Amino acid sequence: MIKWLLIVLAVGVLVLGAGACVYNWWMNPRVARELREDPQGERAEKVMLLTLPSGRELPVNYLREGNTVYAGADGRWWRELRDGGGRGSVFIQGETLPGTMRAVTDDPELRESVFERLRPSAPGFTGTLVVIDLD
């Protein structure tokens, strides 16, 4: 019984790892290219390119309210923004906007309020709120 449980667990880890690789190496670059080539397109209304302080770039859904942009992080990339965050930029509908970004892990009311608008159909227990204050 334990042997089968370990096999199932190993297969699950491999499937999740393969899925992450597909997104990082194939899907994310494809979406980034689409956002640059068609900055007024349908996808660009909901997805931005986020450039982290490390220079890593990834497409994420966003909600812009004035000079504040919100994103929800389901992967591990948000950890770069702990402990005060850092400087980076967003590419929203053809415009690159610099700002200060941080992960918000200690304000559940803000997270819930933003996620109700940003990702209303996602399970409420998933994701870390990322806040970008534009210059």
Distance CA 133, CA 100 (A): 5
Tens-digit pLDDT profile for residues 83-121? 889 999 999 999 999 999 999 999 999 999 999 999 988
- Of the candidates 66, 86, 91, the residue with the CA atom closest to the CA atom of residue 130: 86
Global confidence as pTM: 0.79
pLDDT digits 0-9 by tens, 25-54 = 447 899 999 999 999 999 999 999 999 999
* Structure confidence at residue 6 (pLDDT): 60
- For each of the domains in the chain, give its residue range(s) and CATH number, in order of start: 3-134 (2.30.110.10)
One-letter amino acid at 132 equals I
